Copies of this chain bind each other. A is one copy, B any other.
């Protein structure tokens, strides 16, 4: 591929700032590739101006891209759920982003809130298009003392199998080759039972991968008492949401947490974004750390097969982190420093 069609959604708050740095580093890493980037104005600003979250015409345009880079969307002025359901989740479902990939690594020289800075290096493979996220809920006698509200978690063998297989393959490609299924099969017996069955059925294809199971509540305990026990975690949409924020926290905060929303069948463009939000309180001040976005760019390049460029970025980030002192640097200073390492 000598050209790359990139859909860019800077979004709100610090989203625009960190995306600028992500693109800077992308340019440095792919100097021999023609990058055609198209920016889309989506998020709180557009919703306030037009009432639109993700118009179908925009979605169709984005569908033609090779990949999507998103900063962050959201603002306290927008009611909870509007942009989440109308933009972020709409995109994940419409583009069949069934693998939500979230690596967690404690970088050398970076402090964890956990005592003793244990070694942490695992990746969560979160299902992205099913489970309690399907939006299949409702409410009866709404607003009255007799209201009943439901949320339905939908889980399919098809949907689980493709994610489980992807997780096994990722585990097989890592030195420790260990896959942990996380669910709550002692309470959610039908969904949990299905996850268990699929893992059992796919496992023989990956005989060299060690496999175990944890209830989600027990998994949170191990994440703080023994995070080194994890290599690859595969889990459902909601548990994955919870575990990846916790995972980001134990490695020193979501300033570093990168994320990919992948259609591993490659029918639709995959989307890459930092796990953090739009942080309106520090927006426009050059205070945001663009590292999570830059690491998301590395995930994107890996997904697109530009493995050398991805490795260059990861190495540059690790070197930058190792040398980070206490002196505060601006968003663009961090981006410049990492881009320079990539280029050099």
From A25-33, A168-176, A247-255, the one touching the partner chain is: A247-255
Nearest CB in chain B: distance from A160 CB, A: 9
Does the CB pair B145–A155 fall under 8 Å? no
Cα separation A238 to B183 with both chains bound (whole Å):
12
The answer to whether A147 and B194 touch (CB under 8 A), given A84-B187, A246-B246, is yes
* Contact indicator per residue, chain A 144-182, by CB within 8 Å of chain B (1) or not (0): 111111111111111001000000000000000000000
Q: Which residue of B lies closest to A218 (CB)?
A: B245
Nearest CB in chain B: distance from A36 CB, A: 33
- Interface residues on chain A, number (Cβ under 8 Å): 65
Which residues of chain B are near A220, meaning CB under 8 Å? 220, 242, 245-246, 249
Interface of A: prevailing SS: mixed
Contact partner of A197 (CB less than 8 A), chosen from B132, B143, B193, is B143
Interface of chain A residues 216 through 253 with chain B (CB within 8 A):
216-218, 220-221, 224-225, 238, 241-242, 244-246, 248-250, 253
Q: Which A residues form the contact surface with B (CB < 8 A)?
A: 80-81, 84-85, 89, 111-116, 132-133, 135, 137-139, 141, 143-158, 161, 184-194, 197, 216-218, 220-221, 224-225, 238, 241-242, 244-246, 248-250, 253-254
